[in-house]
Structure 1
Amino acid sequence: MDIQTTKLELLKIILENENSEFIQRVSDFVKKENKDFWNELSLSEQKEIKKGIEDLNNGKKVSYESFLKKIS
């Protein structure tokens, strides 16, 4: 079954369903799946990631092997 067929079948199920609890659960699930993980991070986590990207862009990096030695 292709994705378009699946979407249409899901839409049909939702449209035919009169159970408000079911509709709310589907709605909550869809909203949760569409969240951007970035907004779920703390400001300090966002800052660290931005700094890491900036460091990479400036050529500051370490090899994977070096990293493993550092954390072992």
Structure 2
Amino acid sequence: MDIQTSKIELVKLILNIDNSEFIDRVSSFIRNEKSDFWNDLSLAEQNDIRKGISDLENGKRIEFSEFLKKIS
């Protein structure tokens, strides 16, 4: 099923619902749906995050208290 057909089917389902509380929840969910933050990051930011994850996976980490000492 393509995306347009899926949307039409979803609208049909919603039209048959008489529960206003449910409709309010679905409406709120749709209004608040955000795109994945990852897509909003620059390539440099994505690369920094990937490097941080790689560092952690390779055991390159420090205690939080040490981190606080470095930045203060």
- The structure 1 segments of at least 4 consecutive aligned residues displaced by more than 4 Å after TM superposition are none
AA in 2 matched with 1:55: D
Deviation at 1:5, TM superposition (A): 6.7
Identity value in percent = 49
How many residues were matched structurally? Answer: 52
Q: Does 1:9 align with 2:3?
A: no
Q: Which residues of structure 1 form unaligned runs of 5+?
A: 15-26
The two structures have a TM-score, normalised by structure 1, of: 0.59
What's the TM-score, normalizing by structure 2?
Answer: 0.59
- Opposite residue 44 of structure 1, the aligned amino acid is A
Aligned mates of 1:56, 1:5 — CA distance in 2: 47
